[in-house]
Amino acid sequence: MSKIIHSMIRVQDLNHSLKFYAECFGLHPAHRLDFPSFSLVYLRNAENDAEIELTWNKDRTEPYTHGDGYGHIGVCVPDVATDRARLLALGYSPLDIKEFKADDGSLIARYFFIQDPDGYKVEVLERHGHYQ
């Protein structure tokens, strides 16, 4: 069984977005990953298991439109290989399994994407580390 764990949106001004979500909804950073060209900040509060992931692409200078501002919904499952095989057997077309690793080679995430009938992306992550 899967559960929704986060929904990602792209933001142009990370500090402005952090202030907005904190002030309006009491959502604060629970986890943050900073890379040279982008940052991922996961927001939640005590009321939620699910998070909003803010993605800040540091070199972006123009505002996002609604068309390219939306990212994906994230769900997690016990084993991505098993779940991907199940989806293939049902006739769906999940993309290949990928791994996201830290500089030291340790696993951050194992995942694949699939699109819903309207083309919205869903990220299916293996339960590991932050992604539970």
- Encode pLDDT of 24-71 as tens digits: 889 999 999 999 999 999 999 998 889 999 999 999 998 888 778 888
HSE-up of residue 67 (Cα within 13 Å, Cβ side): 0
Considering 23, 51, 99, 123, which one is annotated as catalytic?
123
Pick the CATH number of 3-126 from 3.10.180.10, 2.60.40.420, 3.40.640.10, 3.40.1190.20: 3.10.180.10
Residue 53 falls in the annotated catalytic set: no
- Encode pLDDT of 65-106 as tens digits: 877 888 898 989 999 999 999 999 999 999 999 999 999 999
Confidence of residue 1 (pLDDT cuts 50, 70, 90): confident
Write down the pLDDT at residue 37.
Answer: 97
Contact, 75 vs 2, CB < 8 A?
yes
Contacts of range 79-82, beta carbons closer than 8 Å, 24 or more positions apart: 79/126, 80/110, 80/111, 80/112, 80/124, 80/125, 80/126
Tell me whether strands 121-126 and 70-77 are parallel, antiparallel or unpaired. Answer: parallel
